[in-house]
Structure 1
């Protein structure tokens, strides 16, 4: 099994993201990445309320997407 966040692992981003997402879907809220991704999605949705040109779903997706990317590629 490939360890995510391992500095010696320079695997493909898509396969790492797929593996991380599968773990999040399988483990639910007990997975270490689920809560931060959901929290950043909520932060993005709240920020979208303040910004006039961003809708709430776009803010949610941007916040969750950013945190998901940082969980898969921390550097």
Structure 2
């Protein structure tokens, strides 16, 4: 799974916003930040990484 995630991240870096996984992962990151703003025990960087990581996982393993 780590190999798949690494390959997907590299493809996203090469493709930019044209890659089909970029927009959902960025949306997940934004949702994570909003969730962190609502919950006082989570900081926004943790929310960002958690949201982006979850959406990347969903793109790799639907």
Superposed counterparts of 1:1-75, under 5 Å = 13-74=1-62
- For normalisation by structure 1, the TM-score amounts to 0.79
Inter-partner Cα distance in structure 2 for 1:42 and 1:71: 16
- For normalisation by structure 2, the TM-score amounts to 0.95
Structure showing greater radius of gyration is 1
> How many matched pairs?
62
Cα distance per residue 1:11-58 (max 9 Å; x no partner): xx1221111111100000000000000001000001100101000010
Gap runs ≥5 in structure 1: 1-12
Instruction: Name the structure with the higher helix share.
Output: 2
Inter-partner Cα distance in structure 1 for 2:2 and 2:44: 26
Gap runs ≥5 in structure 2: none
